[in-house]
Amino acid sequence: MSTVQSPWPSGTECIAKYNFLATAEQDLPFSKGDVLTIVSVTKDPNWYKAKNKVGREGIIPANYVQKREGVKSGTKLSLMPWFHGKITREQAERLLYPPETGLFLVRESTNYPGDYTLCVSCDGKVEHYHIIYSSSKLTIDEEVYFENLMQLVEHYTSDADGLCTHLIKPKLMEGTVAAQDEFSRSGWALNMKDLKLLQTIGKGEFGDVMLGDYRGNKVAVKCIKHDATAQAFLAEASVMTQMRHKNLVQLLGVIVEEKSGLFIVTEFMAKGSLVDYLRSRGRSVLGGDFLIKFSLDVCEAMEYLEDNNFVHRDLAARNVLVSEDNIAKVSDFGLTKEASATQDMGKLPVKWTAPEALREKKFSTKSDVWSFGVLLWEIYSFGRVPYPRIALKDVVPRVEKGYKMDAPDSCPPVVYDVMKHCWNLDTCLRPSFRQLRQQLEHIKAKELYL
């Protein structure tokens, strides 16, 4: 057995590369793909003490598991790293030089705008196959039809089926990394065989969110179908691999399937979104202790993002989920980017977005703080839509003149003061999430929320 170079610290997550059957009483058996957490190093560096998902502890061989790492930020992941966009026939031929039979790429056709061309190197020359777009399907020979380019490439990789050769080696676009390779390398690729999709629990423009069963555990699964949309969600998944906090919805892994798209598997949050939870329970069920707890849960997650220089950009009660044991966790990293990147303005939720972010596209932790103030208002109004009785077009002009929403009914004055601090037009005068957590902890400790 090879020795382990540097021991992994306690709490490190790893994923099993092989099956391991216990041969001694202290061993912890596991199956390939299981996620384990290191408890401690043993005297022998080839063995770790670890625990599994249900908390059982035991000894495991170090070389049977792979450490889970975050996908490196800045890595340009692609579901289609062989797709080179709009390049000419001549450029494609230069990219496929020196000739190597089975080397291929796909480009956008210059002769047929909107269509694609599959370019394949074969016996020293390059063949160009026009991919026809017909009745929302793709085909080369008008005999076999595909939903998307990934399916088409998968088909011709396993079978030449009339082409000069089957596809052997993709010519990767410079700077891109194949998503499947990167998720496998960093220990986040799951196997579709282990996942059962049970029922739809939500619908989005990107596809469905489904309740699933992954190796006997309930999970939530975002099923993203289309090439372009799936590509956008890779960014969300890669951000989630870097994030670990008890108040952030935890990514369990990613499945990249050529035939059916992308699946992002996360922990299942049994009680749904915080906004629906607040609306359905209301004042008669949820006392002030619940409201301050939810406020702190979200604040702690946001302090963690702040410490890691990440900006959420879409913080709202609809994007906070509630677990079976009433823990609120921030989800939906669809807009999350490293601090200060710019964003498509068409999709921004006006009532939750800070004025400077709407006006100048300036996103920062301080714009998240503004949104947190609105989320606090949602919590203490039991899920009402912010800025009631104000037309959407009038919200921004009024806010920029200094308008602040009134306190929700029965909201403790100390909590309303926190909201108002979040809504300072001067970003420098807004508190940090660390300061907000300290204020909320003080309110909770002194029972000022009652």
Q: What is the C-alpha separation between 312 and 91, in angstroms, rounded?
A: 40
Tell me the residue ranges of DSSP E strands in 225-309. Answer: 251-257, 261-267
Supply 73's token pair: 């930020």
Q: What's 237's DSSP letter?
A: H
Q: Which helix (H) or strand (E) holds 210?
A: strand 207-214
Question: How would you label 306-315 residue by residue, b for 16+ Cβ within 10 Å and e otherwise?
Answer: beeebbbbbb
Q: What is the C-alpha separation between 437 and 424, in angstroms, rounded?
A: 18
User: What's the burial of 236, exposed, middle or buried (CB within 10 Å: 0-12/13-18/19+)?
Assistant: middle
The CA-based angle 57-58-59, given to 5 degrees, is: 145
User: What's the burial of 187, exposed, middle or buried (CB within 10 Å: 0-12/13-18/19+)?
Assistant: buried
17 annotated as ligand-binding: no
Question: Is 314 tagged catalytic?
Answer: yes
Number of Cβ within a 10 Å radius of residue 243: 19
Number of Cβ within a 10 Å radius of residue 247: 19
Instruction: Say if CB 143 and CB 105 are below 8 A apart.
Output: no
Q: What is the C-alpha separation between 316 and 276, in angstroms, rounded?
A: 12
Residue at 122: amino acid letter: C
Q: What is the C-alpha separation between 448 and 56, in angstroms, rounded?
A: 41
Task: Give residues with Cβ within 8 angstroms of 280, minimum separation 6.
Answer: none
Instruction: Say if CB 298 and CB 247 are below 8 A apart.
Output: yes
- 186 φ/ψ angles, rounded to the nearest 5 degrees: -90, 5
β 35-41/13-16 pair status: antiparallel
Supply 121's token pair: 């190197």
Catalytic residue among 314, 344, 409, 417: 314
- 14 φ/ψ angles, rounded to the nearest 5 degrees: -140, 165
Q: Which helix (H) or strand (E) holds 165?
A: none
Supply 418's token pair: 């926190």
β 47-51/217-224 pair status: unpaired
β 207-214/217-224 pair status: antiparallel
Binding residues are 222
Binding residues for ATP are 222
Active site amino acids: 314
